[in-house]
């Protein structure tokens, strides 16, 4: 039994339905011609089952040289709707949250309190009242947050937040970079300053003072009489070293305060480093006789001596205006000795002031001096000294914040740095104490610190990674998805990261409406990766990906769909006319 007119009508109906589906696809594409990130679709058809009249013969069967099968098709059916994931063009965005994806990848988004992932190319993002980054339909954009050190926490997706105006930071400095040029041909720092007072007397014994003498018993000769120098109260001292005024130090004098307490006070106020700190013994003629060349304050034959560290930048200054007790000045006539009792500091050096921050964001100043310690035919050795007026030790009042040596080769390049750690105590604030940071000589820079023969040495801080107190006022999204926050303190910090999802078969994704996709059994599982790596596309900030709908092509397809529909309708009317002719046969 062959095919009849009924089959022809059914065949035509499949063609009409196919043209309707194709027209729907074109209509959807045209309707979304302005939808951000929309990917156009195409209806793919295959012929329907064929009716076999004859299966054909092979050569040699009977008298035949071979015949082909005789088949008539039964119409058409929809095989698939293919999504065109080709790249769309871009337009400029209106806000920092507008992003486009150039290449493979989808944003990962979720509904509130739902762990089901959706995926979208629509990058018209918003920030809601809770500072969440969301899609324009209100879904949360998922990504990676940061810890308290602004380090990306990869691996766990979370709602991304950009708290403009609400996020406040302060970050302790951990690293400082310096650049400069040190003089390798200068004078080695062989000796430090030596200052001396006139002989002083112990009022209790009438003899020369010793370390155990009570400070209130110290007397100096005033004309023909000895008079007491100190009394109970607060001694205030503002020292000067290397031409730099240091922080004011105070000593509470009581009936139990001794000369030794005063000597320790002077050492700390000037930030003098001793041999125990690693500095070499003084090589000056006079300096060698004071504690064997060990820098610091001492008593010799009733006179007070101050031996400073070597180098002109460690030169000590002390005059009558520097020290007061209660309301009057204390003048022990430092520098009153002869040239046989004092010496000047010797040694080339260069210094700079570093500004860093503690964990509360408070600015901390550190004076970093470098002094030429020694030189030979194979190397140049510099010693660095760090002093901070903001040092707050739990005991005492020292300004000293560290020392160490740096070695350079015959080409002036850095060989080694034996300790570059500076430590500033912060016991009078709630910040973490000590503030400890490393200074980097930035050997990778063209301006790396070198030791060469120069008449103009210089030293400069170029970078530091701490931050004063600041408020997030702006942000940007980088091509790798990193969200960089800009703070009013002038620093930039990473505040989040937007990853992208890719699939083995993105055409197998299930469409969920609202420009969303979901995984299907044929798409494969989502692979969450970093933009710009391993075949993942990059993010274009302040840009939006346009629909890739080809309006002209869709209009042509509409004409073809219309023609297809009319032609199949003609088959149906023709079949109907043939039925009528058959029914008129009598």
Helix (H, G, I), strand (E, B) or coil at 506: helix
- Tokens 């006079």 belong to which residue? 286
Name the β-bridge partners of 305.
196, 298
Domains of the chain, residue spans: 5-86+548-584, 90-150+471-545, 173-187+349-465, 189-347
Prediction pTM value: 0.70
Q: Which residues contact 488 (CB under 8 A, 6 or more apart)?
A: 470, 471, 473
445-449: long-range contacts, CB 8 A cutoff, minimum separation 24: 445/177, 445/179, 447/179, 447/180, 448/179, 448/413, 448/414, 449/178, 449/179, 449/180, 449/181, 449/182, 449/406, 449/414
Note the Cα 368 to chain centre separation in Å.
25
Q: What is the pLDDT along the chain (586 residues), one digit of tens a residue?
A: 456 778 888 888 999 999 999 999 999 999 999 999 999 999 999 988 777 767 777 776 667 777 777 778 788 999 999 999 999 999 999 999 999 999 999 999 999 989 999 999 999 999 999 999 999 999 999 999 998 888 999 988 999 999 999 888 888 999 999 999 999 999 999 999 999 998 999 999 999 999 999 999 999 998 889 999 999 999 999 999 999 988 899 999 999 999 999 999 999 999 999 999 999 999 999 999 999 999 999 999 999 999 999 999 999 998 877 899 998 898 888 865 566 789 999 999 999 999 999 989 899 999 999 999 999 999 999 999 999 989 888 888 888 999 999 999 999 998 888 778 999 999 888 888 899 999 887 655 556 788 888 999 999 999 888 888 899 999 999 999 999 999 998 888 999 999 999 999 999 999 999 999 999 999 999 999 999 999 999 999 999 999 999 999 999 999 999 999 999 999 999 988 888 888 888 6
Q: Specify whether the backbone of 31 is left (phi greater than 0), alpha (psi in -120 to 50) or beta.
A: alpha
- Tokens 């918003």 belong to which residue? 126
Burial of 181 (0-12, 13-18, 19+ CB in 10 A): buried
d(CA 219, CA 202): 6
Compute φ and ψ for 239, nearest 5 degrees: -80, 165
Task: Single out the residue of 501, 280, 457, 541 nearest to residue 385, CA to CA.
Answer: 280
- The reported pLDDT for the residue numbered 542 is 95
Tokens at 273, concatenated: 């480093």
Q: Where are the alpha helices (DSSP H) in 395-511?
A: none
Element (H, E) at 450: strand 450-452
Q: Which residues contact 322 (CB under 8 A, 6 or more apart)?
A: 237, 238, 239, 240
d(CA 437, CA 417): 15
Tokens at 233, concatenated: 């109260």
Tokens at 385, concatenated: 């000294």
d(CA 585, CA 575): 16
- The reported pLDDT for the residue numbered 1 is 44
Which CATH number describes the domain made up of 173-187+349-465? Answer: 2.60.98.20
Q: Which residues contact 221 (CB under 8 A, 6 or more apart)?
A: 198, 199, 201
The alpha carbon torsion through 101, 106, 111, 117 (nearest 10 deg) reads: -160
Tokens at 245, concatenated: 């005024």
Q: Where are the alpha helices (DSSP H) in 232-337?
A: 259-270
Tokens at 241, concatenated: 């070293």
d(CA 50, CA 74): 5
Tokens at 389, concatenated: 């007026």
Helix (H, G, I), strand (E, B) or coil at 229: coil
Tokens at 529, concatenated: 């990766």
d(CA 50, CA 68): 14
Compute φ and ψ for 265, nearest 5 degrees: -60, -45
R_g of the chain, CA atoms, integer Å:
43
Cβ atoms of 230 and 216 within 8 Å: the answer is: yes
Q: Which H, E and C letters describe 44-97, residue by residue? A: EEEECCEEEEECCECCCCCCCCCECCEEEECCEEEEEEEECCCCCCEEECCCCC
Cβ atoms of 287 and 190 within 8 Å: the answer is: no
């Amino acid at each position: 039994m062959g095919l009849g007119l009924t089959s022809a009508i059914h065949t035509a109906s499949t063609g009409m339905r196919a043209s309707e589906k194709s027209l729907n696809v074109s209509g959807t594409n045209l309707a979304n011609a302005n939808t951000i990130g929309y990917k156009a679709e195409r209806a793919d058809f295959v012929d329907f089952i064929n009716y076999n009249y004859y299966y054909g013969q092979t050569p040699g069967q009977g008298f035949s040289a071979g015949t082909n099968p005789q088949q008539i098709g039964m119409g058409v059916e929809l095989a698939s709707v293919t999504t065109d994931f080709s790249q769309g063009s871009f337009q400029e965005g209106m806000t920092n949250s507008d992003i486009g994806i150039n290449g493979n990848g989808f944003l990962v988004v979720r509904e509130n309190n739902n762990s089901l992932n959706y995926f979208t190319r629509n990058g018209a993002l918003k920030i809601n009242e809770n500072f969440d980054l969301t899609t324009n339909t209100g879904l949360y954009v998922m990504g990676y947050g940061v810890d308290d050190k602004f380090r990306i926490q990869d691996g766990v997706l979370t709602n991304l937040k950009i708290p403009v105006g609400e996020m406040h930071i302060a970050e302790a400095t951990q690293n400082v970079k310096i650049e400069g040029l040190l003089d390798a041909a200068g004078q080695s720092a062989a000796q430090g300053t030596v200052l001396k007072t006139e002989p002083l007397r112990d009022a209790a014994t009438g003899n020369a003072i010793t370390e155990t003498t009570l400070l209130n018993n110290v007397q100096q000769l005033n004309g023909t009489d000895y008079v007491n120098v100190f009394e109970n109260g607060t001694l205030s001292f503002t020292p000067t070293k290397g031409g730099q005024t240091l922080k004011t130090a105070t000593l509470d004098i009581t009936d139990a305060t001794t000369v030794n307490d005063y000597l320790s006070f002077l050492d700390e106020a000037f930030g003098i480093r001793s041999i125990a700190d690693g500095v070499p013994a003084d090589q000056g003629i006079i300096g060698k006789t004071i504690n064997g060349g060990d820098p610091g304050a001492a008593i010799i034959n009733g006179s007070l001596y101050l031996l400073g560290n070597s180098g002109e930048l460690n030169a000590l200054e002390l005059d009558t205006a520097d020290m007061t007790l209660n309301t009057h000045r204390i003048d022990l006539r430092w520098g009153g000795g002869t040239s046989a009792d004092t010496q000047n500091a010797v040694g080339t050096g260069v210094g700079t002031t570093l500004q860093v921050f503690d964990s509360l964001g408070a600015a901390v100043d550190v004076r970093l001096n470098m002094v030429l310690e020694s030189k030979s035919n194979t190397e140049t050795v510099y010693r660095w000294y760090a002093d901070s007026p903001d040092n707050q030790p739990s005991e005492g009042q020292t300004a000293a914040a560290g020392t160490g040596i740096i070695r350079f080769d015959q080409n002036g390049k850095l060989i080694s740095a034996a300790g570059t750690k500076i430590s500033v105590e912060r016991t009078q604030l709630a910040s973490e104490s000590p503030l400890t940071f490393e200074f980097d000589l930035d050997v990778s820079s063209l301006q790396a610190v070198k030791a060469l023969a120069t008449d103009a040495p210089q030293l400069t801080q170029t970078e530091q990674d701490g931050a004063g107190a600041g408020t997030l006022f702006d942000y940007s999204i980088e091509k790798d998805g990193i969200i960089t926050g800009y703070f009013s303190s002038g620093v930039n910090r990473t505040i989040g990261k937007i990853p992208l999802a890719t699939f083995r078969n993105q055409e197998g994704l299930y469409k969920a409406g609202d420009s969303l996709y979901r995984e299907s059994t044929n798409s494969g599982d989502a692979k969450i990766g970093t933009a710009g790596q391993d075949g993942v596309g990059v993010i274009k900030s302040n840009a939006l990906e346009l629909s890739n709908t080809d309006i002209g092509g869709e209009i042509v397809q509409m004409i073809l769909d219309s023609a297809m529909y009319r032609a199949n309708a003609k088959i149906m009317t023709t079949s109907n006319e043939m039925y009528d002719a058959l029914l008129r046969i009598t």
